[in-house]
A and B are shown apart, each in its own frame.
Chain A
Amino acid sequence: MGSASSVLTQYDIEEVQEHCNNLFSQQEIVSLYQRFCQLDRNSKGFISTDEFLSVPEFAMNPLSQRLLKMVDALNFKDFVAFLSAFSTKASIQQKIELIFKVYDTDGNGKVSFDDILQVLRDLSGSFMSDEQREKVLIQVLEEAGYTRDSCLMLDDFIKVFGSVGPNMEVEVPVD
């Protein structure tokens, strides 16, 4: 972190804060920036795939490849915007939106049976056969009141999660 451009000014912090809709406090943004600079070893301005994988928790996550596609080559401002779904102040809808994006493999705004199947493949690896996966999925969809051919939209996801919402909160350590 030696170059002059790695110093955050107050303007920068406020700009980033505005971009993430005030979901992180200024101190949290400073902490996130320190971590960003630690990961971005050659000060390129973004974190490469390899550098993300150097975080052990990330590398062990079965969904790492999917997440990587979403965060690859993001600059700091966009990175914070991506992470804002994990903030304690984020609404349930924002969190579900992120999950929807993870499931929407082909990015067409709809989550089809195949999309979910692919995610399930990542999650279960070699420990389930394809038939088992399909069986599970069909059952899950039926329980929720859908069929194999239905395409889920964001509202469907919100309905399924209900009022509880996913447990997706992370505390940013502040010195």
Chain B
Amino acid sequence: MGGWPSCFGLREEGKLWRSKSKSGDSNRKPPKKQSKPRRNGVQFAEEDDGDGIGDGEALEMATTGTLKPSSSELDLDRPNIEDYLPSGSSIQQEPHGKLRLLGFTPNGFAFPQPRFARYFADLDRGRRRHCRRLVHAMLQVESAGALELEYILVSVVVFRSCVSLSHFVSFESCLEANAILGIGWVIFLSSYIPVHFLLKGHEKLRKKLERFLVELICSFFVASWTGVVKYHGPRPSMRPNQVFVANHTSMIDFIILEQMTAFSVIMQKHAGWVGLLQSTILESVGCIWFNRTESKDREIVARKLREHVQGADNPLLIFPEGTCVNNHYTVMFKKGAFELGCSVCPVAIKYNKIFVDAFWNSRKQSFTKHLLQLMTSWAVVCDVWYLEPQNLKPGETPIEFAERVREIISARAGLKKVPWDGYLKHSRPSPKHRERKQQSFAESVLRRLEEK
């Protein structure tokens, strides 16, 4: 469809993207009083102050007090078209031109391309963190920036709907998505393998580089699905004694979060190529494996979790629901993550259903099919909120703590809570549930008999 060559051509910086003017931006909270001129309405690039945290975002949250969800956020299943269209005056050029957005939409809508050489040259010069954030910035969009991208995407949708060659289009989009992924893998493997073997002696540097590369490959994955991710809240910091919990919809949750921070995860070992990936690459970020079917597994895993958290390694990401849920609800959180004695940082993820249904029904389709389906869809649009770290309150049991965090995550992402154990998806409820009901009934009846 003609988009192929232009995707790979370099375009002049800033031509396609312009930022919104300050006056036209009625949805934003009032801009923080910073001296940096960038804070005019939409900001594309992250701060270049080398501290690793999106300060502007964090401060904005802090000054506006508790997050009051706007009415459009509460009604998350309805498309927020108002959010997607720029209001008011025309869009102006982003003055500093720091960020380029990498967006490959299926019909080859090309956005200005990153200069890879420059970013890798930065790496050599040791300004890895700066480089990493620029790479992130190019692959995902800061809060308001996603509006523009989504505006383009909506026009793409309209354009595409005029073209009813659905088979051809989805084949082509799959091709492009695979091409992106292929490039990503080439870059990743060509960097990872040398780093892994040649830097065996320099553990710290090797770990840092491997983490960066894992984040990079995840970013490529996200780009291959035309992922538009809005991150809200302060970015996770690499501190010991903290654990991150998030609601779980699909395997891609992990990839979306991983492209921002190299978390360690605890996952079920899968078969096939996914298992291969897990054992080789994810080892570098430090992962814990468990097996749902083994009952003794629980104590071993609990011990491993505790050891990991106390070390100063990558922060651990846990999905306490234990299984994929369809992003309308949250099921009961397992208490394992909440009795480790550290602070728990909740992360809420909500996918926008108009673009694609990201729920992976593992009983209905294999992961490969699921990934292909994601690649051929319009886009994967989601919001990620990093929420305030929580600690166990005095007198609170881990289960109550888990429920409290679940409440926070559900409220933020607009999910309904259900009192169900996620593992029931995989197995029938054990007879002890029924017996408990029978027991309470019998006891109440006998009590009444005694009273007579």
> A residues bordering B, Cβ < 8 Å?
53-54, 56, 59-62, 64, 123-128, 132, 135-136, 139
Chain A residue nearest in CB terms to B428:
A59
Contacting residues of chain B (415-452) with chain A, CB-CB under 8 angstroms = 420-421, 424, 428-429, 433-435, 437-439, 441-443, 445-446, 449, 452
- State the Cβ distance, A128 to closest chain B Cβ, in Å: 5
Q: Are A128 and B437 in contact (CB under 8 A)?
A: no
Q: Are A124 and B434 in contact (CB under 8 A)?
A: no
List B contacts of A123 (CB < 8 A).
438, 441-442
List A contacts of B446 (CB < 8 A).
128, 132, 136
The residue from B437, B443, B449 contacting A60, defined by CB atoms under 8 A apart: B437
Contact with A along B190-219 (1 / 0, CB 8 A): 000000000000000000000000000000
List B contacts of A135 (CB < 8 A).
449
List A contacts of B435 (CB < 8 A).
125-127
The total number of A-B Cβ pairs within 8 Å is 53
Identify 13 new A-B residue pairs, CB closer than 8 A, beyond the known A61-B434, A125-B439.
A56-B420, A56-B421, A59-B433, A60-B434, A62-B438, A125-B435, A125-B438, A125-B442, A126-B438, A128-B445, A136-B445, A136-B446, A136-B449
Contact with A along B273-296 (1 / 0, CB 8 A): 000000000000000000000000
List A contacts of B445 (CB < 8 A).
124, 128, 136
The residue from B428, B433, B443 contacting A127, defined by CB atoms under 8 A apart: B443
Most chain B CB within a 10 A radius of its CB, from A59, A60, A62, A64: A60
* CA A128 to CA B424, docked complex, whole Å: 29
Q: Are B433 and A124 in contact (CB under 8 A)?
A: no
Known: A54-B428, A135-B449, A136-B449. A62 touches B434 (CB 8 A): yes
Q: List 21 A-B contacts (CB under 8 A).
A: A54-B428, A56-B424, A56-B428, A59-B429, A60-B433, A60-B437, A61-B434, A61-B437, A62-B437, A62-B438, A123-B438, A123-B441, A125-B435, A125-B438, A126-B435, A126-B438, A127-B435, A127-B442, A132-B446, A136-B445, A136-B449
What's the interface size class on B, roughly? 10 to 19
Q: Are B433 and A132 in contact (CB under 8 A)?
A: no
List A contacts of B443 (CB < 8 A).
127
Q: Are B439 and A59 in contact (CB under 8 A)?
A: no
Q: Are B452 and A139 in contact (CB under 8 A)?
A: yes
| Secondary structure of the A contact surface, majority rule | helix
| Secondary structure of the B contact surface, majority rule | helix
Contact with A along B362-379 (1 / 0, CB 8 A): 000000000000000000
* CA A135 to CA B429, docked complex, whole Å: 32
* CA A45 to CA B420, docked complex, whole Å: 28
* CA A71 to CA B433, docked complex, whole Å: 22
- State the Cβ distance, B426 to closest chain A Cβ, in Å: 11
List A contacts of B441 (CB < 8 A).
62, 123-124, 127
List B contacts of A53 (CB < 8 A).
428
* CA A175 to CA B394, docked complex, whole Å: 41
Chain A residue nearest in CB terms to B449:
A136
- State the Cβ distance, B309 to closest chain A Cβ, in Å: 32
Q: Are A132 and B449 in contact (CB under 8 A)?
A: yes
Contacting residues of chain B (325-362) with chain A, CB-CB under 8 angstroms = none
Q: Are B429 and A56 in contact (CB under 8 A)?
A: yes
Q: Are A60 and B438 in contact (CB under 8 A)?
A: no
List B contacts of A56 (CB < 8 A).
420-421, 424, 428-429
Contact with A along B162-184 (1 / 0, CB 8 A): 00000000000000000000000
List A contacts of B438 (CB < 8 A).
62, 123-127
Chain A residue nearest in CB terms to B448:
A136
List A contacts of B437 (CB < 8 A).
60-62
Chain A residue nearest in CB terms to B432:
A60
* CA A136 to CA B451, docked complex, whole Å: 12
Q: Are B429 and A60 in contact (CB under 8 A)?
A: yes
* CA A110 to CA B170, docked complex, whole Å: 64
List A contacts of B420 (CB < 8 A).
56
- State the Cβ distance, B439 to closest chain A Cβ, in Å: 5
Q: Are A124 and B428 in contact (CB under 8 A)?
A: no
* CA A53 to CA B443, docked complex, whole Å: 26
List A contacts of B421 (CB < 8 A).
56
* CA A127 to CA B434, docked complex, whole Å: 12
Chain B residue nearest in CB terms to A122:
B438
* CA A136 to CA B445, docked complex, whole Å: 8
- State the Cβ distance, B304 to closest chain A Cβ, in Å: 30
Q: Which 4 A-B pairs have the closest CB atoms?
A: A125-B438, A127-B442, A124-B442, A60-B433
* CA A53 to CA B428, docked complex, whole Å: 8
Chain B residue nearest in CB terms to A135:
B449
List A contacts of B429 (CB < 8 A).
56, 59-60
* CA A128 to CA B445, docked complex, whole Å: 9
Chain A residue nearest in CB terms to B77:
A175
- State the Cβ distance, B231 to closest chain A Cβ, in Å: 30
Chain A residue nearest in CB terms to B433:
A60
* CA A56 to CA B419, docked complex, whole Å: 11
Chain A residue nearest in CB terms to B424:
A56
List A contacts of B439 (CB < 8 A).
125, 127
- State the Cβ distance, A45 to closest chain B Cβ, in Å: 21
Q: Are A139 and B449 in contact (CB under 8 A)?
A: yes
Chain B residue nearest in CB terms to A124:
B442
- State the Cβ distance, A135 to closest chain B Cβ, in Å: 7
Chain A residue nearest in CB terms to B436:
A60
* CA A56 to CA B438, docked complex, whole Å: 16
Contacting residues of chain B (55-69) with chain A, CB-CB under 8 angstroms = none
- State the Cβ distance, A37 to closest chain B Cβ, in Å: 14
Contact with A along B396-422 (1 / 0, CB 8 A): 000000000000000000000000110
